[in-house]
Amino acid sequence: MGAITYDMEIPSSIPANKMFKALVLDADTLIPKIMPQAIKSVEILEGDGGVGTIKLVHFGEGSQYKSVKHRVDAIDKENLTHSYTIVEGDALAGVLESITYHVKIVPTEDGGCICKNRSIYHTKGDVEINEEKIKEGKEKAGQMFKAIEAYLHANPDA
């Protein structure tokens, strides 16, 4: 099994704690509300939302995928970090064992934040990953982040 790692950083004017709450803690209800074409719903299959929780994510009409299961690997509200792994679903395309995401929201001096995201694609055997699919996934993640940012600007009490 091989592994391919991609890093992405997205700056935001939203304070780090507020972005972490929206992007991580409230994401299961917030994202389907503001981007139903991307994610239709999220249901907890096992656990309480903390480490070890298994979630089933149902993608919206705008997605080429139907659903994925992901496991919460780590969540640290003080250090604003979250790790989870997609362990099942059509997004793995039969060529990936799993995809692990590490998210860290870092406060900036101007009161905003930077979202640092590391994605690790664990391939089955010697399978080559389509770079275009990775690029598409990164672009969609960036769009989702910016949609959350826009929502928080429009709803300062959220």
For the record, the structure tokens of 14 come out as 């939203």
The DSSP symbol for 127 reads: P
Predicted confidence pLDDT, tens digits, the chain (158 residues):
688 889 999 999 999 999 999 999 999 999 999 999 999 999 999 999 999 999 999 999 978 889 999 999 999 999 999 999 999 999 898 889 999 999 999 999 999 999 999 999 998 887 777 777 777 878 888 899 999 999 999 998 88
Tell me, yes or no, if the pTM score tops 0.85. yes
Strands (E), the chain: 3-12, 39-46, 54-59, 67-76, 81-89, 96-107, 113-123
What residues does 86 pair with on adjacent strands?
A: 70, 99
Domain boundaries in the chain?
A: 3-33+72-122+137-154
Fold designation for 3-33+72-122+137-154: Alpha-D-Glucose-1,6-Bisphosphate; Chain A, domain 4 (3.30.530)
